[in-house]
Structure 1
Amino acid sequence: MTDGAAGPAAPATRGRVVMLVDNGVEGDSRVQKTAASAAEAGWDVVLLGRSATGKVQTWQLGGAEVRLLPMTTSLARPPHEFRRHWVRGPLAYPPTGIAARREQEVRARRADLEARLGALSQARGEGRSSAGLTLSRQLLRGELLATKVSRRWVSLRRRQLSRAQEARKGLATPVDQLYTRFWQTVAGDRAWRRLDPALWDFELAYGPVVDKLRPDLIHANDFRMLGVGARAKLRAAAKGRRVALVWDAHEFLPGIRRWNDSPRWLPANTAHEREYAPYADAVLTVSDGLADLLRERHRLPEQPTVVLNTPSSADAAGAGDGVPDIRELCGIGPDVPLLVYSGAAAEQRGLGIMVEALTELPDAHVALVVPRPAAPYVKGLVVRAGELGVAGRVHVLSYVPHHQVVPFLSGASVGVIPIHHWPNHEIALITKFFEYSHARLPLVVSDVRTMAETVRSTGQGEVFRAEDVGDFVRVVRGVLADPGRYREVYERPGLLESWTWEAQARVLDGVYSRLLPDHPPAPTHGPAVGSAPDPSRQVGV
């Protein structure tokens, strides 16, 4: 399929589900598993994501269609970037790129004049002295002086432009703060239209396609897609069609680290979320703690349903051949202590503590399985390892396909989750927690609330004080001294079975069925609901 038009609805389905996500789908394991398991349960699923190529891309994810849509970001740049800065830079050039051209023009003019002066000097040296040459030389020197004045004038105007742009780069000037407060006061939750109009870019890319697909249910992942889904629901209602809206909240928006430098981003997006949360017919989320926060914040009529991002049974069993050996990639033998971290790499993830600890753990190695091994943060960890003299024991590895994650990680000695204290870190059992668990690894986790409570309750690992290298070393030594004690926990009946995607998919299908009671029930034959997505697509660990 090469355009945004809807194809014919698949026959004999329980209804059409359109899922929305603001990324390219690949790397988002929760979204992939949700789409594939819903299709397997008999729903006609179209998953809409964002294309990074500027063209529509499509593929199959099990029985679900993935369609990535091109999206322009014209509204992402604030209006002041297109205007002259009359107050802060009355002499500044307009921000059109003309400043760079003027600077180059002056430099080119000076180069030309210097070359012409050189030609006159050469002519005089060849004995062609005359009053004409002297006059020409004086005229050229006058032009050089004028060029010098022009260069200073151009530099002044460019400096004023740069200073004005830098002053407003963070939108934190008194005028910018007044602007933000004004629209929050006047417009309330509708203020996002002024504070972050880039949210409309998603609407303009996704909205028309959703309307053409005529869904029975919209599954909107996270806060930016909530508005897209809610507006599609309202448009359908205006035409006499009922569409159910499921909001899948992956994070607690007020507690996340903002995604850009603008202080308007968080108030705008929280306002956007508050405006459209009431239109959700059901809310899904990733943990009981986040469910409590969402119900309180948005005064939801019922508790959000928790759907954990757990591996499928097939993934946990290591379906498929060719699983790489993590120890072989690290160049170490089976008896060498290997601490593994898998997932996104960022300062708040706390990976630096694993590198620092190696000076106190002389026999241990660290494997960092990350999506971008060449990212600046990861390179900085490698540099730090070199400074500490432990570079040979730090191994940076790339992601593996989702169906290989669990068996790949199982070759390590300990699974580490060293995340710092951030609101969203406190309330969730993150994906790698379940992957480590199915890999039957002893866990070493920081004392973020929900994860620490779970580990202490199950006995599958130990907890250290976040960002405390000494305490981390103490805990790792204790776990490595008796790993079997922690691995035995996974033999407890029902523990890992409850942490499979099959169990979560049944919960998800129950929500869909409740919202669409007039649609056919789930099929009673065929594969179990919630099996693995297409293993040809790579997802994050």
Structure 2
Amino acid sequence: MRFDGADGATARGRVVMLVDNAVNGDSRVQKAARSAAEAGWEVILLGRSPVTEPREWLLGQARVRLLPMPDPLARRRHEFRRAWLRWPLAYPPSGIAAHRAQSVRAWRADLAVRAAQLAVAAPRTPHLELRRRWLRAEELAAGLTGKWVSFRYWQLTRARKGRKFRNPWDLAYTRFWQLVKGDGAWRRLEPGLWDYELAFGPVLDELRPDLIHANDFRMLGVGARAKIRAAAQGRKVKLVWDAHEFLPGVQPWKDNARWLPAHRAHEREYAPYADAVMTVSAGLAELLRREHGLSEDPAVVLNAPDLGPPPAGAEDDAPGLRERCGIGPEMPLLVYSGVAAPKRGLGIMVEALPELPGAHVALVVNKPDSPYVVGLRARAAELGVADRLHVLPYVPHWQVVRFLSAADVGVIPIQHWPNHEIALITKFFEYSHARLPLVVSDVRTMADTVRSTGQGEVFRAEDVADHVRAVRAVLADPARYRAAYDQPGLLESWTWSAQAAVMDEVYTRLLPERPAAVRIGDPRATSEVQPSVGANT
């Protein structure tokens, strides 16, 4: 059954895209869905609902469906047991701890009201003094009970956090299942991956796609298993794997030695089922080819911005960057736009402010009130520059380039991590289309690009003094760096419309019997997007 509004007779084929998030905030996935639908494909984008109810809306001509995903398999067996030896007084992990803590709070709240009643009671109230003594005894009992409950709750918390996956037993457990099951070891090491299958697999089978576009490593397995089931039923389904990052270079979860081996095994098991691979950079394409022995280079679809018109009905009159910062055009303004996290290196921008008199920094981030950002604000206050640090939330993706263009410098201070070395990230292209001079850290691919184009300066990652040098150089002659964007074809090749054409070529090669594409980038979207869609990372 096709969705309302999809023309089954004229659609080039049904494409089901899979992503392991709630779609909002993931501009690559949003742009891919919209552009594929504009090119004539019938597109259904399946994502993970952040709540227990399904959600659905239109993204241009593409249908977005968010599926509830219970994840009981993501919990380890030890989380259901008591740690008798290490934390003998801890509450059992049954929910009773929160119930007891709330009961004590309710008791204390009742005592406070009763104390207020006695405070205003008439002097001749019967048994007034006895009632006051009894209340004091209850208050003492409530205080002691609260301390006992808090202690047992603390023990439960320590038991939960204290269980590490890097002790000798877990290392031996991981190695054992790798030897016994090979790439199938993920079934024991990371059974939570089955939660994705159980939520998405039945819906995917019901939709009967012609092509599955699986975003990143978790959804690769979901798509591959659907392809296998379809083949058993006599249906041919093509699988495109869109690898957003190099899994061996991902920073694994803290204190979990199983996470990375499990996910790498899962990826290795299902990568051979991909009929085509797409990725975000030439460097990552080469790594994927070597890692999985691919017969051809993955297609490169850059995380370039969509410069088309905003969605129909979308508001496009939000205040500008300087207006939100409360500063005029004469103030030097440095901007960072993207995820706020320690490995993104934002601290260096705060540390440099005392050495850049008069300059302001705007952080346009995904979580303005996160502990990390709060810490940056606190550090700015310690340095006496709090009035020159501005933290702002994301804006809708169709506003990003215009919003950023009000700045003087676009900064990308990311630190040296494997996946940072091999990609040109979204903000690089957004800054470029905003025609901002760049100040970037010396991660390999981005630094090489900036040096070759002349669009900015490169500094040593985590080196405050060198960062200050680079900023001063750009602010001294911004026109020199902006002139780099006048190079013929440079910005044109860094647009989403160019990338959408590559993606459509991949689809068309896999389904050659389908009708030809309509014009890529044709702005014919007639429906809304969710209002919370923001800038990407």
Q: TM-score, normalised by structure 2?
A: 0.85
In structure 2, the partner of 1:118 is none
3-state SS of paired residue (2:212): strand
Query: What displacement does 1:98 show?
Result: 5.6
Structure 2 distance, partners of 1:395, 1:107, is: 38
In structure 2, the partner of 1:191 is 185
| Aligned counterpart for 1:463 among listed residues 458, 463, 467 | 458
| Aligned counterpart for 1:29 among listed residues 27, 30, 35 | 27
3-state SS of paired residue (2:354): coil
Query: What displacement does 1:533 show?
Result: 9.1
Instruction: Return the letter of the residue paired with 1:24.
Output: A
Instruction: Return the letter of the residue paired with 1:344.
Output: V
Given that 2:223 and 2:239 are in contact with CA atoms closer than 8 Å, whether structure 1 keeps it comes out as: yes
In structure 2, the partner of 1:411 is 406
Given that 1:294 and 1:300 are in contact with CA atoms closer than 8 Å, whether structure 2 keeps it comes out as: yes
Instruction: Return the letter of the residue paired with 1:322.
Output: D
Pair 1:506-2:501 in alignment: yes
Judge which range, 428-437 or 260-269, deviates more.
Answer: 260-269
In structure 2, the partner of 1:239 is 233
| Aligned counterpart for 2:447 among listed residues 429, 447, 452 | 452
In structure 1, the partner of 2:63 is 65
Given that 2:35 and 2:521 are in contact with CA atoms closer than 8 Å, whether structure 1 keeps it comes out as: no
Pair 1:376-2:371 in alignment: yes
For the structure 1 residues 105 and 417, does the alpha-carbon distance in structure 2 shift closer, same or farther, using more than 3 Å as the test? closer
RMSD: 3.1
Write out per-residue CA displacement over residues 142-196 of structure 1, whole angstroms, 9 at most, x where no aligned residue: xxxxxx9x9999999989867654542x223322222111111111111111111
Given that 1:33 and 1:533 are in contact with CA atoms closer than 8 Å, whether structure 2 keeps it comes out as: no
Please give the residue correspondences for 1:136-535 in structure 2 after superposition, counting only pairs within 5 Å. 165-168=160-163, 170-259=164-253, 261-314=255-308, 321-523=316-518, 528=522
Instruction: Return the letter of the residue paired with 1:55.
Output: E
In structure 2, the partner of 1:17 is 15
3-state SS of paired residue (2:22): coil
Structure 1 distance, partners of 2:473, 2:99, is: 65
Write out per-residue CA displacement over residues 11-54 of structure 1, whole angstroms, 9 at most, x where no aligned residue: 21000000000001010000000000000000000000011121
Pair 1:79-2:73 in alignment: no
Structure 1 distance, partners of 2:378, 2:368, is: 13
3-state SS of paired residue (2:355): coil
Structure 2 distance, partners of 1:415, 1:106, is: 52
Write out per-residue CA displacement over residues 70-91 of structure 1, whole angstroms, 9 at most, x where no aligned residue: 1101111101111344665688
Given that 2:394 and 2:535 are in contact with CA atoms closer than 8 Å, whether structure 1 keeps it comes out as: yes
Instruction: Return the letter of the residue paired with 1:10.
Output: D
Instruction: Return the letter of the residue paired with 2:395.
Output: V
Query: What displacement does 1:534 show?
Result: 5.2
For the structure 1 residues 371 and 154, does the alpha-carbon distance in structure 2 shift closer, same or farther, using more than 3 Å as the test? closer
For the structure 1 residues 151 and 68, does the alpha-carbon distance in structure 2 shift closer, same or farther, using more than 3 Å as the test? closer
Given that 1:371 and 1:398 are in contact with CA atoms closer than 8 Å, whether structure 2 keeps it comes out as: yes
Query: What displacement does 1:6 show?
Result: 6.4
Structure 2 distance, partners of 1:207, 1:427, is: 32
In structure 2, the partner of 1:131 is none
In structure 2, the partner of 1:134 is none
Given that 2:166 and 2:255 are in contact with CA atoms closer than 8 Å, whether structure 1 keeps it comes out as: no
Write out per-residue CA displacement over residues 264-319 of structure 1, whole angstroms, 9 at most, x where no aligned residue: 11111111111111110000000000001000001111111100011123269xx9
Query: What displacement does 1:259 show?
Result: 4.3
Judge which range, 306-315 or 320-329, deviates more.
Answer: 320-329
Instruction: Return the letter of the residue paired with 1:506.
Output: A
In structure 2, the partner of 1:129 is none
Structure 1 distance, partners of 2:478, 2:276, is: 42
Structure 2 distance, partners of 1:357, 1:533, is: 44
Given that 1:295 and 1:303 are in contact with CA atoms closer than 8 Å, whether structure 2 keeps it comes out as: yes
Structure 2 distance, partners of 1:100, 1:426, is: 45
Residue segments in structure 1 that go unaligned for 5+ positions in a row: 109-125, 127-147
Write out per-residue CA displacement over residues 497-528 of structure 1, whole angstroms, 9 at most, x where no aligned residue: 0101111011000000000111111136x963
For the structure 1 residues 179 and 337, does the alpha-carbon distance in structure 2 shift closer, same or farther, using more than 3 Å as the test? same
Structure 1 distance, partners of 2:291, 2:530, is: 40
Instruction: Return the letter of the residue paired with 2:7.
Output: A
For the structure 1 residues 470 and 65, does the alpha-carbon distance in structure 2 shift closer, same or farther, using more than 3 Å as the test? same
Structure 1 distance, partners of 2:185, 2:351, is: 45
Higher Rg: 1
Q: TM-score, normalised by structure 1?
A: 0.85
For the structure 1 residues 210 and 106, does the alpha-carbon distance in structure 2 shift closer, same or farther, using more than 3 Å as the test? closer
Given that 1:505 and 1:530 are in contact with CA atoms closer than 8 Å, whether structure 2 keeps it comes out as: no
